[in-house]
Amino acid sequence: MLISHISDIHLGYAQFNLQEREEDLYEVFEESVDKSIQEHAEAVILAGDIFHNPKPTGSAVIKLARELKKLKEKSIPVYFILGEHDISRTNDVPLPFLFHNLGLAKRLKPDSPAQIKDLLIYGFNKQRRSNIDNGLLVPFKKLEKTIRIDENRKSIESKKIRKMLVLHQGLGDFNKFAGEIFAKDLPLGFDYYAMGHYHDHVQKNFSEIENKLVAYPGSLDLGHNEPISEVEKGFLIVDLSNTPENVTTQWIKIEKRRLQMNRSLDYEELDECLKYLLDLSVKYQKKPILDLKLKGSKIDPNILSAELSKLNDYFLYYTWNMFDKEPASGYSYDFANDFNIDEEMSKLISNTMKSEALTDLSIDLIQMINNGEPRDDADINKNKSKKIVDYLWKYYENNKNKYQERVR
**CB-based contact 188:140 (threshold 8 Å):** no
Is there a single domain that holds both residue 31 and residue 169?
A: yes
Is there a single domain that holds both residue 216 and residue 298?
A: no
Q: Which domain holds residue 264?
A: 260-322
Is there a single domain that holds both residue 376 and residue 280?
A: no
CATH code of the domain covering residue 161: 3.60.21.10
Is there a single domain that holds both residue 141 and residue 201?
A: yes
For residue 396, being part of any structural domain is answered with yes
> Which residues contact residue 203 at a Cβ distance below 8 angstroms, ignoring those fewer than 6 apart?
213, 214, 215, 216, 236, 249
d(CA 149, CA 127): 26
For residue 333, being part of any structural domain is answered with no
CA distances from 402 to 178, 365, 368 (A): 20, 14, 16
In the prediction, which pLDDT does 43 show? 98
Q: Is pLDDT of 52 > 70?
A: yes
Please tell me which residue, 206 or 361, carries the higher pLDDT value. 206
CATH code of the domain covering residue 289: 3.30.160
What would the pLDDT profile of 367-398 be if each residue is shown by its tens digit?
Answer: 665 555 444 444 444 444 555 566 667 766 77
Of 228, 253, 278, the one marking the end of a domain is 253
Phi and psi at residue 380, to the nearest 5° = -60, 135
For residue 274, being part of any structural domain is answered with yes
**Edge-to-edge strands of the sheet including 114-116?**
114-116, 119-123, 162-168, 192-196, 212-216, 202-206
For residue 75, being part of any structural domain is answered with yes
For residue 327, being part of any structural domain is answered with no
d(CA 196, CA 5): 9
In the prediction, which pLDDT does 381 show? 44
**CB-based contact 146:27 (threshold 8 Å):** no
What would the pLDDT profile of 268-306 be if each residue is shown by its tens digit?
Answer: 888 999 999 999 999 999 999 999 999 888 788 888 889
Q: Is pLDDT of 239 > 90?
A: yes
Opening angle at CA 131, ends 127 and 134, nearest 5 = 105
252 closest CA partner among 270, 238, 265: 238
Give Cα 228 to chain centroid, integer Å: 16
Of 236, 253, 270, the one marking the end of a domain is 253
In the prediction, which pLDDT does 341 show? 58
The count of domains in the chain is 3
Q: Each residue of 40-58: b (16+ CB within 10 Å) or e?
A: ebbbbbbbbbbbbbbebbe
Arithmetic mean of pLDDT, 159-174: 92
Q: Which stretch of DSSP H or E encloses residue 386?
A: helix 385-407
Q: Which range (24-33, 150-159, 387-396) has the least confidence? A: 150-159
Is there a single domain that holds both residue 199 and residue 239?
A: yes
Q: Is pLDDT of 208 > 50?
A: yes
d(CA 349, CA 221): 29
In the prediction, which pLDDT does 332 show? 25
For residue 332, being part of any structural domain is answered with no
Is there a single domain that holds both residue 14 and residue 72?
A: yes
Name the band, by pLDDT with cuts 50, 70 and 90, for residue 178: confident
Q: Is pLDDT of 399 > 90?
A: no
CA pseudo-torsion sign 270, 276, 282, 285: negative
Phi and psi at residue 316, to the nearest 5° = -65, -40
Is there a single domain that holds both residue 369 and residue 227?
A: no
- DSSP, collapsed to helix, strand or coil, labels residue 144 as helix
What would the pLDDT profile of 85-142 be if each residue is shown by its tens digit?
Answer: 999 877 788 999 999 999 999 999 999 999 999 999 999 999 988 899 999 999 999 9
Is there a single domain that holds both residue 147 and residue 112?
A: yes
Is there a single domain that holds both residue 233 and residue 358?
A: no
Is there a single domain that holds both residue 346 and residue 313?
A: no
Q: Is pLDDT of 321 > 60?
A: yes
For residue 154, being part of any structural domain is answered with yes
Mean pLDDT of the chain: 85
Of 253, 273, 290, the one marking the end of a domain is 253
Is there a single domain that holds both residue 31 and residue 135?
A: yes
- DSSP, collapsed to helix, strand or coil, labels residue 97 as helix
- What is the pTM (predicted TM-score) of this model? 0.79
In the prediction, which pLDDT does 90 show? 73
**CB-based contact 56:12 (threshold 8 Å):** yes
| Entry field: residues in the chain | 408
Q: Is pLDDT of 51 > 90?
A: yes
Q: Is pLDDT of 158 > 70?
A: no
Is there a single domain that holds both residue 266 and residue 242?
A: no
Please give the DSSP secondary-structure letter assigned to residue 373: P
For residue 336, being part of any structural domain is answered with no
